[in-house]
Structure 1
Amino acid sequence: MPKSKYFRVAVEGATCDGRTLERQHIEQMAKSYNPQVYGARCNLEHLRSLFPDSVFRMYGDVLALKTEEDTSDGPLKGKLGLYAQIDATDELVELNKSRQKVYSSIEVSPKFADTGVAYLMGLAFTDSPASLGTEMLQFCASSQVNPLADRKTDPSCFFTAAAEVAMEFETDEPEVKSGKGFFNSIKELLNKGQRHFSAEASEIREAVEVVAQSQADTLDRLDTFSQQIGKFADASALKKVTDDLAALTEKLEKQDGNFNQRPPSHGGANGADQSLLADC
């Protein structure tokens, strides 16, 4: 349901049915009001029907109260006012738009539930200040049978004289953006997209760096392994050369050490001596 802005529902010094709404009453109501303890409801003419489809059904709830001192130059200057915020029904909103029931009157309990402090019991809207005006309330109070008695929550309660209210409601309608506002909205969307893309790019970059570092470590290990293999190969070749040299040395050591020249040849076949046939 629509929530209203705070609007004034009573002012200190307002005349009632033989009683006066005092500053302390207003201060106590604003301080003590708690919907969870007792929620004041909105009605018409202080009438409360038992039937939900009645014209005199409830038209909302009082959400909160506060006080403000009148600073205008009018007759209420310096007076303390009681302001209410209500959760109104759609019917009450329509009544307000059509300028119906534009006067308010509150029901006050001067000593709520034996607490000794004033409390707001209800908020009524009326179409004519005369119906709940000062003279009407005083007349009812002086009558042997008060015609308003059955409208009260408790016999000790009193009604304030009706006063005109200026009630406005908070709107949930989307704000119409100007050209600059529209540009700023588009810019913000683009910035959000850029920030999102930057975040994704940063994550990708970090992933690539991790993979690159892993590959670098692998390459370093492969290079080290290759160097070790190379060293192993060089060592094997050196060992082979060393072994071959040792074998050759051993073979040479086994040969005759006194041999100086080959045996003389006598020119004969199959080694036969032919020296006598030569004529020197």
Structure 2
Amino acid sequence: MSELFSNSIFFFENNFVDMRIRDITELFRNEVNAEANFIGDTENRSRKGGNMSASQLATNWICIATAGETVDKRAIEEQWLLDAAELYDPSLYTALLWPEHSRNFGNMGEVLELKAERDDEGILRLYARLCPGISLLQANANGQLLFLSPEFTPDGNFRNTGKTYLEGLAVTDSPAGVSTTRLRFSRTKGKRIGPYKPLAFDEVREFKKEKGMSKTAKKGWRHFFSIEEPEATAEQETSQPDALQALAEALDAIDKRVSAIETRLGEAEEAVSDVQEDVDTVKEVVDTEDFARLVGNLPELVKNFSKLNSKVTQLPDKKFSKGKKGFNFL
């Protein structure tokens, strides 16, 4: 009965541990699915040309076009640049960054804002602040896609306004325009790059906080540009997601149950050891010659005992009145 009870307890404890492990696995699966759903939503927005600001990165002002003749004998008119700077509104239509003007491989970032300015020589230039994607950062680090090539409204009549809009911006290694700023995303701040305008466009900073972005992705972006990790507030340090709290409680419960199981197993091992010692002692006695001789004489002893039981002592008759005998006196 005791052994059956112990086996039942052991079976219950094992099943309890299995159930807790399944609960923990489900918690992890939910966390992973939530993170995967967020990443998938971000990628879908990227493919559809939606808001790319989840990268939380922004460059300084970069020259993307210069008024005048291009290297392939075309002309970029000043009015195009003025119109683009005036009309550009990313909430209305976002100009995305396309590798070599191709739409087949997804965009590599977006244009945040535009402005048109003249340099010291009176030449009009169009400047942009960009939000680069990770694919552009990787390509740029490998020395690829170093320049920019604007894509203006083909007929110069954006939405019947009679003006030109920046509808896209290509990242390329063979730009047609001149005096565009070479893209050089760097970890080191303070460099001044660009042959005409001394712009430190390598300073990249966070421009938007988005709660949905994963902590791992945020850390990777900051590390790439040597951006310091923001200090956690007291509220952030003390707060803990419900899922993590449940996980901690589940792990604590499992630890206690496992400790109890280990204790019971230790007690069972001690009991088995004691029984084994008793068995060894009995075995030593049974294996002796005296015990073997005793076992050999046992049949004879049983036989003799049976003979003793068969012998009956004759008792005298209790009726002394039968037959009168005289006494023989000496």
TM-score clears 0.5: no
TM-score, scaled to structure 2: 0.38
Over alpha carbons, which structure has the higher Rg? 1
Higher normalized contact order (CA 8 Å, seq sep 6+, divided by chain length) = 1
TM-score, scaled to structure 1: 0.44
